[in-house]
Structure 1
Amino acid sequence: MRDGGGKHISTRGIFLLSVFVHLCWVSIACPQPQSEINSIRIATPSWENVTKKDGTGLYFDILHKVYDPLQITIAYKIVPWKRAMLMLEHREADALPGGYFVPKDQASDIFPRYPIGGETLCVLSKKGKISEWKGQQSIAGKRIVWIRDYNFHKFLDVQVRWWEIDHEYQGWKLVDIGRVDFYMDNLNFLNRYIRAKTIDRDQYDIHIVVQKALYLRFADTPRSRQLIERYDSIMPSLIETGELKKLFEKWGFPYPSFAPRVDD
């Protein structure tokens, strides 16, 4: 084939030219990868007033506050904790809310700078089991149970004899019959169980062991890094305007510290 000036244009040249034009068109017409994210995939257990099965709760409200203005929808699956962790590992989910921060040299997941909530970890015992509470020293060497995969031993400064259980009612029962000294769990969950089962609170002691910040735990992917960037860029304004505090009040939770994490 020849052009109007009589110069020869080879078939190979036409092909290369068409490829070049196509690539230029794609680079203009297609959005950058950052703008392609239109959803965040959440895997989480169902926690009362935190992550309810109907997609409501404290954490879901926070996620909507962060991502709705960016036109990023919240897609979620309610699954047990262990299944949620596996979904992160297999990249079937972007994030799991309510996880503890783990340094990057010890975990395959990544975390934003700002937490999504806080947790007060307590031990439950029969009334009078401990005559004088001396903090964690009071549980040193004692028999303690907690829910499977919660790994509370990592946050203790003392050695304890610990076992894992599958359901919270097992922890209460083991304490009642004296098989263990303590059942360890989140203070909110202990209070929820007391209300739900109309338990006589005066028959038990509850002591605070440690307080921890809770984070969105993300799979380590480029997509997650963009979602984290957006989360960390919006959380400060939610804190400063008081919007975040209102959400905690709405769902009946104490407002924790939202200082950004500085350690990696």
Structure 2
Amino acid sequence: MVALLWCASLVLLLAPLLRPVPAHGADIVEVLSTGQSWDLFTNPDGTGLYHEILNAVFALHAIPVRHEYATSDRAEELVRLGQADMMICDDMVSPPLVMARHPMYENAYHVFFSRGRIPDWQGPQSLLDRLVLSQPGYYVQENFPVPVRIKYVANGAQGLGMVLLGRADAYVDDMAFIRKSIAENTIPFDMLDYEIRQVGVRSYHPLFNTSPRGQAIMELYDEGMRTLHQNGGLKAIYEKWGHPYPDFDKY
């Protein structure tokens, strides 16, 4: 009987040590984000919408943020392996990663196409079985309400160029990237022969690991986004970079 009581007492004493102890903001001395380098979002010099949002969010806890540039696939792998804290950003998530509640970007996406290839636009259904070009990993079948044939190209300018040369039906992207691709294009064309039409709207969220550290950092991120939204600091960052302000109240 004494032995049983001793064992029970020992279990009670050790129980707190056997449970995973979540990390707290005070335990985190740096946050490592990862993702691609995008103009006006994650500029190589540390400026851009995403960089400034994260700096402001974690500055609320005096935590510096460091960024490692990587492709989207590699960035997700780094977070899965625990070698980075958060991937910025994506509109979809696959286990074991989880998505933060609040987005960093929310915007419509469009297709650029020739009137000759699609003469009578009837909405996204006009893309049924069409060959649609996308920057690597940016868009997948789930972003379209009808089946399409997606092909990844090196960048937006290449996608736009292939449409101009008649090698594809459409090029899909955010309007800012379509404009950038048009500006970088070297193939002469008349815009009257082409159209840009909206396909859908999506929001882009940071992705996190499900480890105690990952969950703690995600909580700090979501709390910080709410705080900055409420005090107006977040809107000022979006206005500075000329990006649309998400409807944070619906998240």
Structure 2 CA distance for aligned equivalents of residues 42 and 260 of structure 1: 25
Give the AA of the match of 2:103.
Answer: P
Give the AA of the match of 1:233.
Answer: E
Name which of 37, 48, 57 aligns with 1:66.
Answer: 57
State the TM-score, normalized to the length of structure 2.
0.83
Contact 2:35 2:75 in 1 (8 A): yes
Name which of 39, 47, 58 aligns with 1:56.
Answer: 47
| 1:184 maps to 2:172 | yes
- Compare 177-186 and 228-237 and name the one that shifted more: 228-237
Matched residue, 2:200 = 210
- How big is the shift at 1:194? 2.2
Contact 2:106 2:203 in 1 (8 A): yes
Name which of 234, 243, 247 aligns with 2:237.
Answer: 247
Query: Secondary structure of 1:70's match?
Result: coil
- Compare 34-43 and 130-139 and name the one that shifted more: 130-139
- How big is the shift at 1:260? 4.8
Matched residue, 1:88 = 79
| 1:220 maps to 2:204 | no
Query: Secondary structure of 2:248's match?
Result: coil
| 1:165 maps to 2:156 | no
**5+ residue gaps, structure 1:** 1-31
Give the AA of the match of 1:224.
Answer: G
Query: Secondary structure of 2:110's match?
Result: strand
| 1:234 maps to 2:191 | no
| 1:117 maps to 2:105 | yes
Query: Secondary structure of 1:51's match?
Result: coil
Contact 1:194 1:201 in 2 (8 A): no
Structure 2 CA distance for aligned equivalents of residues 142 and 33 of structure 1: 48
Name which of 118, 127, 147 aligns with 1:130.
Answer: 118
Structure 2 CA distance for aligned equivalents of residues 246 and 201 of structure 1: 34
Structure 1 CA distance for aligned equivalents of residues 139 and 196 of structure 2: 19
Give the AA of the match of 1:59.
Answer: Y
Query: Secondary structure of 2:43's match?
Result: coil
Matched residue, 2:11 = none
Matched residue, 1:256 = 246
- How big is the shift at 1:42? 0.7
Structure 1 CA distance for aligned equivalents of residues 53 and 192 of structure 2: 35
Structure 1 runs (4+) deviating above 6 angstroms are none
Matched residue, 2:134 = 146
- How big is the shift at 1:170? 2.2
Name which of 179, 182, 190 aligns with 1:194.
Answer: 182
- Compare 109-118 and 144-153 and name the one that shifted more: 144-153
- CA RMSD in angstroms comes to 2.0
Contact 2:57 2:224 in 1 (8 A): yes
**5+ residue gaps, structure 2:** 1-21
Matched residue, 2:69 = 78
- Compare 67-76 and 154-163 and name the one that shifted more: 154-163
Contact 1:128 1:205 in 2 (8 A): no
Query: Secondary structure of 1:124's match?
Result: strand
- How big is the shift at 1:169? 2.6
Name which of 27, 36, 40 aligns with 1:45.
Answer: 36
Percentage of pairs with the same residue: 29
- How big is the shift at 1:168? 2.2
State the TM-score, normalized to the length of structure 1.
0.79
Please say which structure displays the higher CA radius of gyration: 1
- How big is the shift at 1:202? 4.2
Give the AA of the match of 1:57.
Answer: G
